[in-house]
Amino acid sequence: MLGPVFNREAIVTPKRPQTYLSRGIYVGALFLLLCTGYLVLDGSRSLATTSDSARFGGFMFALLAPLQLLVLSALAAVGAAGSVAQEKDRRTLILLLLTRLSGFEVVGGKLTATLLSPLSLLICGLPVFLTFPLLGGVSPQQVFSVFAVTAAMIVLSGTVGTVIGLWREKTFQAIALTVLTLLLFLGLGEAIATLVPLPTSWKLAVSPIRALTAAASPLSSLQGDVLAGVVLFVLLASALSVALLIYGVVMVRIWNPSREVRFKAPEAENSVDVEPSGEPASWKVRQPRAVWDNPVLWREVRTWAYGRKVLIIRATFVVLFAIVAASIAWQVRSGVALEPAGRIDRALPSATIPVAILGVVSLVLVNALAVNSITGERDGLALDLLLVTDLCPREFIFGKLLGVLYVAKEMIVLPILLLIYMGASDVMTWENTIYAVLGALVLYIFVSMLGIHTGLNYVAGRTATMASLGTVFFLCVGIAICMTIMVSFRGAFQLQLAPFLVMILGGGAALFASLGWRNPSSAIFAASFFLPLITFYAITQFLLQMDHLYVVSALVAGYGFAVAAMMIPALSEFDVCLEPDRGGTGEST
């Protein structure tokens, strides 16, 4: 019913070892988080009574439910956008549109094929979540309500990614617009629920965040408005997904092929092909432009290497920045942002969450741009040509790195300006402002080099994007989740450190597998295991409100070393992973 695109994916997916590996890793990560929370709580007080067990189960359920929604929705959105963009980069989407396949078989087939992975992970995680009713404090109805909200959001995220991927030509455009669109959707729903006087059920229906929170609450089985709001959200998200799918089916052959890939009429080559005036047509379109000594950097800076529609991404990010900046400005005027930062047993400063969200989004976008700068060359068959030119590794690596930082200048400069505004408004001291700006610059350089390193070491563009974004997600969000568990249970730090070290070391092993699976080195090995520890230490120092000089020193040293570990082999060896079927048996050059 869904067509040969979906049928092929459904047949091939069970034959891939990574399918079962990803499911095992996902379930193992959920179970490891559950065990970590138990060990942390047991280090301070044992689960001796039913109330302690119910409290523990309720907290872990409230923590893992939004984490699952975030991970699987991001996987569906980025995976759908990257899958369609890869078809475009390899010019296979045009071939699909030339066949007898209907628009629904192309669009619906790509969407459902992409949703196989996140939905299967969702089903695999169900047994873990069903352990919470056994602990008490969580009912089975809460679990199934959370899974209904999560499934609806996964389908909506995948639909948005598929439609935007069909609309936009470049991979970076598709991924960035997908991420920003979903963020604006979340922000718009929360704004409507906050500012517009609506019934409780409709407030839950328009806000995914509130719907998930209500579904995870014990009140979902007691109050009719809460249950009605969850059902309305699922229905509205499903209706919106169907509407977007229909729109994509109607527009797929209008958007594709785009003007960037349409063939142009040949230029005049002989005396017959002359203009009506009798003069021969000139073969020149415009005057040649002077190229810099580094042609790679010149192309990144002086041409539209990522398409002209990158301006839409910049404009959308500016809108997101304006929303966050308005929130910070309101907190400054009302005095909320000027309240002193709390200790570890108190709430974080009010300005921390919006600034952290903006910072993580900008890091993700810069990283996606960096990895796409390499995968785009590979999928367009231009990387093979660059490797046989007289370009030296220094020109290529620094050209790509500086070019990425230039193209993403709005995503770097605007968050830094927000930090400076917070320093000028006495939200932070000028000393801490300088530390924050310095740490932010180091992180931007790290995610840029990480994207380039991943793009050079993975043949498949989609795999490279997932590996690079997954690394950023683990370092930015994964460690923060661990710290949330530690802060919430408020046990003795020395008793909590041991279980967290086990989890952080496991994350370091996964990080080494991602960064050094093809060309392992002692430097990448050390960076893979030090980065989670350094991030853990930095977040701990921030929560304890200790001297922030220690925080920025650790970040600069650790992430600077990681940049050097990835950059030096690229500059000295220029080792690029190529497809096995190109150039005989060689896989690198």
Are the beta carbons of 347 and 433 closer than 8 angstroms?
no
pLDDT 10s digits, 388-424 = 888 888 889 999 999 999 999 999 999 999 999 998 9
Note the pLDDT of residue 89: 76
Strand partners, 301: none
Which candidate, 276, 533, 298, 329, places its Cα nearest to that of 399? 298
pLDDT 10s digits, 162-184 = 999 999 888 888 989 999 999 88
Question: Who contacts 37 (Cβ-Cβ below 8 Å, separation ≥6)?
Answer: 56, 59, 60, 63, 485, 489
Which candidate, 252, 447, 234, 459, places its Cα nearest to that of 359? 447
Which candidate, 367, 491, 469, 373, places its Cα nearest to that of 74? 469
Could you say which DSSP state residue 477 is in?
Answer: I
Mean pLDDT of the region 132-139? 87
Q: How confident is the model at residue 267 (pLDDT cuts 50, 70, 90)?
A: very low
Which value, to the nearest 10 degrees, does the dihedral of the CA atoms of residues 235, 223, 182, 21 take? Answer: -90
Question: Strand, coil or helix: what is 198?
Answer: coil
Peptide bond into 257 cis (omega under 30): yes
Q: Which residue has the tokens 């220094």?
A: 394
Q: Is the pLDDT of residue 272 over 50?
A: no
pLDDT 10s digits, 37-89 = 777 666 555 667 788 788 888 888 988 999 899 999 999 999 999 889 888 87
Mean model confidence pLDDT for the chain: 82
Q: Which residue has the tokens 């050059």?
A: 589
pLDDT 10s digits, 229-260 = 889 999 999 999 999 999 999 999 998 886 55
Q: Point out the least confidently predicted range of 136-145, 227-236, 257-266.
A: 257-266
Note the pLDDT of residue 352: 79
Mean pLDDT of the region 469-481? 77
Note the pLDDT of residue 405: 94
Which value, to the nearest 10 degrees, does the dihedral of the CA atoms of residues 552, 556, 562, 563 take? Answer: 130
Which value, to the nearest 10 degrees, does the dihedral of the CA atoms of residues 205, 207, 213, 215 take? Answer: 20
